[in-house]
Amino acid sequence: MERQERKAGIYKNPDLPGTDPSDEDVENSRKQTGMTKQNEALEPERSREQWGKKKGKKLPSKIEGLLEDLPRIPYGGSFVHNGCNVILRNTCNIDNVIQILFTLYKINKATGIWLHRLAQERDSACYFLLRAFRHLDSSEWAAARKIILVNLLKVGGAELEDGDLYESEDRILQQLGDLFIVVKNITCKNPNCRLPKQIDICPMRDAPVSLPAMIEEAFYCQKTFKKCYLCSYQGLTEKQQWPAIGPPPFFCYYLNQVENVCKEEHLLVSQKILGVEFDLFAYTVLENNHYTTVFLFEGKRYIYNGLKNKTLIKYRPSGPNHSVSTVWLLKKQ
Ligand SMILES: [Zn+2]
């Protein structure tokens, strides 16, 4: 991972969660990117977005053109927080996760509807995610990063001052795990047992797998155990199912590399989870201490690399020392 110079500024007091980026940040961000003032509505209006073909530029397909024109988060960067400049390092740990979610949001209508529904709960992770997306839409990287770190991840104090995001992938995935939870219904035959009847399963936290082929088993539909965890009564049943609002339009799981190292060749192009078919949409690759993302569109693969964010890179297989870190699935249409 690229190491940058230590921050020059001094951190003072953390903002309260939910605080907006200051006008100073937004202005800074605009200056960096040469953007002009944009519509400040909370949610980007999909209907207003222009994905028009650039003059003289031949686009092989609508989706590829859309993907090419999408803002891509650059590696590193800085933002002003309480008057001090926070200089960030190792941002690829979280940039790839945000870039995938942003891409899903921009190209998949069902994802947009799903995220807006979850964002209705003020101060939820999704609420801040959509606020960050508003800035990504205008390439306002500093303002977007500030919301993600300060509001969504609740990074503050010396940690924020340091600006090092090394090993943050797991942290952001845990925060965003509620975007696609699974419900586990538990029944113990002992009428006096106090075992909870229902718990939420977060794939990042509660279903660790090291290879994609294991995920269908991790999200089993029904399992009968001989013994209750709590009362030791013989006859406990567990049933995993999608929540009452239905299955999410996308799904993500993390590969923990404990038993196996997941390579690109282990990926499955489609997977069935709790009876719902999903297609492989993207995956993050860790190679030489740097994360990149491979996106799959219309049978082709493209690479997002924050170090070369100006272009969408044509796919080439990863090197021998790579590992696949997260897998992102999109519900079959
Ligand atoms: Zn029991």
Q: For 185-198, what is each residue's pLDDT tens digit?
A: 999 999 999 988 89
Distance of CA 248 to the CA centre of its chain: 14
Question: How far does the centroid of ligand 1 lie from the alpha carbon of residue 232, in Å?
Answer: 6
Return the pLDDT at 152: 95
- Ligand 1 mean position, distance from CA 202 (Å): 23
The pLDDT score that the predictor gives to residue 53 is 44
> What confidence score (pLDDT) does residue 178 get?
85
**Exposure letters 263-293 (e unless 16+ CB within 10 A, then b):** eeebbbeebebbebebebbbbbbbeeebbbb
pLDDT at 58: 53
Residue 288, classed as helix, strand or coil, is coil
Query: How far away, in angstroms, is 200 Cα from ligand 1 center?
Result: 18
CB-count burial class (<10 Å; 0-12, 13-18, 19+) for 42: exposed
* CA 182 / ligand 1 centre spacing (Å): 22
Q: What's residue 43's pLDDT?
A: 37
Q: How far is the CA of 121 from the centre of ligand 1 (A)?
A: 34
pLDDT at 99: 97
Ligand 1 midpoint to CA 197 (Å): 10
- Scan for tokens 């797991």, then name that residue: 170
> pLDDT tens, 278-306?
999 999 999 999 999 999 988 899 999 99
**CA 175 / ligand 1 centre spacing (Å):** 31
Q: Distance from the CA of 188 to the center of ligand 1, in angstroms?
A: 5
The residues near 189 (Cβ < 8 Å, ≥ 6 apart) are 233, 234, 235, 236
State which residues of the chain have pLDDT below 70: 1-61
- The Cα–Cα gap between 9 and 222 comes to 54
Q: What is the pLDDT of residue 32?
A: 41
pTM of the predicted structure, to 2 decimals = 0.80
Residue 148 DSSP code: I
Stated as kind and residue range, the H or E segment containing 127 is: helix 125-137
- Report CA(6)–ligand 1 centroid distance (Å): 54
